[in-house]
Amino acid sequence: MLGNKAATTIGPESWRNSTLKGIKLSQTIVQKSDKSCDVGRSLDPLPHLRDTVAQLSNDEIHRYTREVRVIVAKLRESLLDTNEEIKALTRGKEALEKALEHTRKDIALNKDSQEIRVSRPSREREHDGADDLLNAERAHLLNCKKALEAQLRSVQQQLQVLDAARRRLFNVLNERSRVMDLLNHALSAANAGSQSAPIGVGRSRTSMDGRLSRLQDMSGKLGFMSLGQPDPLGPYTPEADQALVDAEEARARSAYLRRELKDAIDRTEKLQKAAHKSVNDGITQKVAETITLKQHLGVGLGENRHGIHRAQRWYDATDKARGYTMGPVAYSDIATRERLDRPMVKVFQRHPGTQLPEAQEIIRSGDGLLQSLSATSRNIGLLKLSQLRLRNDIKGKGLASSVDSSIIRLRRRKSDHRWTLGEAF
């Protein structure tokens, strides 16, 4: 009976249920707390979160900076190539200006040669082959001058394009280099020394291998391979891409211009030398022809002088013969044997029809000798006139050969272009 009373609760039911309900609620809360702790163990950040996040940020900065360094190296290499191209094109421009100066000097020399030839005697100024050669040389030189001036303008414009590309590369290079202040080793060490770089806290080997592969890819891109698609927020920006493309196009155009420049200078020099040699040979041939004619004129002048002497001797002999034929001047000087009324003639003329032709023959002979004297005198005058013409021609030929020879000496002396151009052409 006591045992039954002990099994029977004395306290009220509500009181017991309230206690049991509190126990169950406590158990539920404990289970929920344990589950929350388990979830926290797997999801909640560890106490070294700040260090880990900082290391990850440093890794991202290191990766970005290395990639930017590759772009900067590419920009710097393009900048150096552009500088070298500017130097090469500048040297070509100087060579072009030198060739243009030589062309202008040859034009001035051609003009001086033509002006000097005007000083020849009037009878030697007839248009000849040397004038044709000088005119042809001037035409060729003017064409070469126009071509070289056009080439020089193209080179100057290309130098401006290269300078603009260089300034753009320099600006982009400075802009890209702003994040590289903390890198203290060369780009060549990025690929070779990347495996020995410190891994740091929280960096896994897998992530390091991935970064190494990216660095190797970027290093491979440096060898003038594709740098990938430009990214406005990445290392390889559109501005850098456009600067590299513009610089590459400018260098290609400059290289093409330099080749054209060299060919133009070579063609101009060959044409100048050929024209110069042709004119010199032509004037030399003209001098030789002039001297040959002068020598023939000298021979002709000697023959003319000989002919004058012969004609003068004949004139003197004829004049003396006419004097003998005409007889003495005074009648008192006529000898008896020369008179027409000498005793023998008087006796002969006692018979009719015995007229003698002595007087008519003497008169006719005197008239013939007088005509011979007149003809000889005319011939002597013509010979002297011809002698004067020959002398003048010899003098003209001498002056002409002297002028042409001075032109040849002038052209040979100035063929090295080591003289100052007095005025612009």
* Spans of the chain, pLDDT less than 70: 1-9, 44-46, 184-227, 327, 331-333, 336-337, 353-354, 359, 422-425
pLDDT value of position 21: 86
CB atoms within 10 A of CB 234: 15
User: Which segments of 119-237 does DSSP mark as H helices, in order?
Assistant: 129-176, 188-192, 205-221
Residues 6+ apart with CB under 8 A from 222: 70, 73, 74, 77, 187
Asked whether the beta carbons of 414 and 332 are under 8 A apart, the reply is no
How many angstroms separate the CA atoms of 297 and 303, rounded?
Answer: 10
Of 357, 369, 358, give the one whose Cα is nearest residue 323: 369
Of 178, 226, 145, give the one whose Cα is nearest residue 425: 145
How many angstroms separate the CA atoms of 44 and 66, rounded?
Answer: 33
- Dihedrals phi, psi of 383, to nearest 5 degrees: -65, -40
pLDDT value of position 88: 95
pLDDT value of position 103: 94
Kindly report whether the global pTM for this prediction surpasses the value 0.85: no
